[in-house]
Amino acid sequence: MAQMKYLRRVAWSTLFYAATLLPMAASNGFGQETRAKIRVAIPSPSICCLHLFAAQQWKVFGDNSLDVEIIQMRPQVANAAMIAGEIHYFAGVGPNSVAATLRGMASRAVWFASDQLIYSLIARPEFKTIKDLRSKRLGVGGLGDTTEVSLRVGLEAAGENSKDFVILGVGNANLMSALESGSIEAALLNPPLLYYAKRKGFRDLLDIGSHVKMPLGGLTTLVSTIQNRPAETRRLMRAMQIAKRSLLQSKEKSVDVMIRFLKVNRETAEDTYADYQKTVSGNGVPSRDGIEQIVKSLQMLGQFTGRKIAFDEVADARIAREVAKELGYKIE
């Protein structure tokens, strides 16, 4: 009899805890989805990564159960870091990331930030034409990345032989100081540095974006991440797409993000926003045209020549298409 009374007390105690403490735990957040901690590498704090800064500042990542750490890395370093598991995503789709995939890295382009480059070749005031720069030092962010490849293709499109110029990878963070000190005669710049340089009296000699059609910014990740962490990848794309749409809808909020994260004044931020509006991609879905342009630019420079490359070899648009449909974008 005593044992039966004891068992009844245990049963009633269990029911009490289930009825009272569990709802309290849920109300205190214990029942909520745990935020996924991820690291995203960016090539530089520039217009290509504006959506990431906006999603962070406006807490869009948190709203999508993500805890995102943004780390600046050169594309070549980011490739190695991704393979090693030190980062999970690279905020870019371009010649370097596509070339790495074609050389055997098990990665794919999964999201586009923009359909068009915003780069210009900016020279010191004493140089008035592109011809004046022959045999001179032209600075780019890094050799083998979008900056070098797009510059070479742009020079060829303008009727020049890119081999007539000395192209140096000096790092995006060092381009302006190298140009000002005279250690290079010209540099490939994008906003906001592009406008800062022009206001300092440097000359805009070649609009690369008008000659080279390829995406600027985006998202690249490993095939294993797409396969094993699709829900996380989906939430990341969704957060970036929401942030990008908000940037387009509110100039004032966008300018505020630029001033804070790109460290520029209001005038430069407003000029940068005007370019951002004209070039940013709509639905984020990687396009066949964009990937083809990247591949063609690599082949034009003697890489992967004679090789027929399918879209699916370097890109996976499935999750981006799902996110775009969910957010109400028209999908072709």
Q: Token digits for 230?
A: 């699709």
Whether residues 229 and 112 share a domain: the answer is yes
CA distance 295 to 311: 10
- For residue 209, the model assigns a pLDDT of 84
What percentage of the chain exceeds 70 in pLDDT? 90
CATH of the domain at 45: 3.40.190.10
Please say which residue of 210, 238, 254 terminates a domain.
210
203 part of a folded domain: yes
Please say which residue of 195, 210, 225 terminates a domain.
210
- For residue 250, the model assigns a pLDDT of 92
- Structurally, the chain folds into a number of domains equal to 2
Work out the burial of residue 4: count CB atoms within 10 Å of its CB; fewer than 13 is exposed, 13-18 middle, 19 or more buried: exposed
252 part of a folded domain: yes
11 part of a folded domain: no
Residue 148's domain spans which residues? Answer: 120-210
Q: Where are the alpha helices (DSSP H) in 170-317?
A: 175-181, 193-199, 223-228, 230-249, 251-261, 266-279, 288-300, 311-314
Whether residues 59 and 182 share a domain: the answer is no
Whether residues 144 and 182 share a domain: the answer is yes
Whether residues 112 and 170 share a domain: the answer is no
Residue of 245 and 275 predicted with greater confidence:
245
Whether residues 125 and 247 share a domain: the answer is no
Whether residues 202 and 228 share a domain: the answer is no
26 part of a folded domain: no
Q: pTM (2 decimals)?
A: 0.79
Whether residues 109 and 160 share a domain: the answer is no
Whether residues 259 and 278 share a domain: the answer is yes
Angle at 174 between CA 73 and CA 261, to 5 degrees: 60
Residue 29 has pLDDT above 50, yes or no: no
What integer best gives the mean pLDDT of the chain? 87
293 part of a folded domain: yes
4 part of a folded domain: no
15 part of a folded domain: no
Decide: 283 and 215 in contact? Cβ < 8 Å: no
What percentage of the chain exceeds 90 in pLDDT? 65
Whether residues 271 and 317 share a domain: the answer is yes
CA distance 303 to 95: 10
CA distance 310 to 312: 5
Whether residues 125 and 190 share a domain: the answer is yes
Model confidence over 197-250: pLDDT tens digits?
Answer: 999 999 999 999 888 878 888 999 999 999 999 999 999 999 999 999 999 999
- For residue 33, the model assigns a pLDDT of 57
